[in-house]
Structure 1
């Protein structure tokens, strides 16, 4: 996957912020359509480059992440200490129309793979190095300060 300038949340003036209400609406559609699903908590911390919803589906709890600046959705195990372990939830993609649902295999791809395709800004590469980000997912769904 090619990382575009601004996807980290820095140098992103040219990107349009995604709407929290739309994200919440998609999550509510999921929980009303899937038996035994509950929305436990929503998070919209402006210091993160993503919005999130904690979901319980059957006995499993996980987080749905929506990138704040791009129409990308990802799924992760319950977030602890801002460490994200990405999941693949192909069955749930249908609840996020007009969004690209990213799979764990893509998000866990090394930044070094196809590095020449990424068009991150110089400042973004500086943060990648500073925070020792190693994967596509760590850049896209970061918590850099």
Structure 2
């Protein structure tokens, strides 16, 4: 996957912010359509490059991430160090029309694997280096300050 300029949230003046209400609507549709699913909480912190919804589905609890500047969706859980552990949930993609639902294999690709394909700005590469981001998912769904 190629990372475009601004996807980190920096140098993103040319990108259009995604709508939180539309994201909430998609999540509520999922919660009312899937058996034993509940939307527990929505989190929208302006300095994060993503919006998120905490979901309970049966015995499993996970987070749905919506990139703030691009129509990308990811599914994740938090690990012991409060980092995202990305999940693949293809059966849920239908609830996010006009969005690209990313899978764990894509988000876990090392940045160095296709570094020459990425069109990130110098500022973004500086943040990547400073925060020691290793994967595509680290860059796309960051909360750098």
Same fold by TM (over 0.5)? yes
Residues 50, 141 of structure 1: 8 Å contact kept: yes
CA RMSD of aligned residues (A): 1.1
Structure 2: runs of 5 or more not aligned = none
Moved more, 119-128 or 74-83: 74-83
| Cα deviation, residue 37, structure 1 | 0.1
Give, in angstroms, the shift of residue 81 of structure 1: 5.7
Q: Are 1:66 and 2:78 counterparts?
A: no
Alignment of 1:1-145 (within 5 A): 1-78=1-78, 82-145=82-145
Where do 4+ consecutive residues of structure 1 move more than 2 Å? 78-82
Does the CA-based 8 Å contact 1:54-1:78 persist in structure 2? no
Structure 1 length normalisation: TM-score?
0.98
SS state of the match for residue 114, structure 1? helix
Distance 2:46 2:16 in 1: 14
Q: What's the TM-score once normalised by structure 2's chain length?
A: 0.98
- The separation in 2 between residues aligned to 1:109 and 1:13, in whole angstroms, is 26
Q: Return 5+ residue gaps in structure 1 as ranges.
A: none
Distance 1:80 1:8, change over 3 A: farther
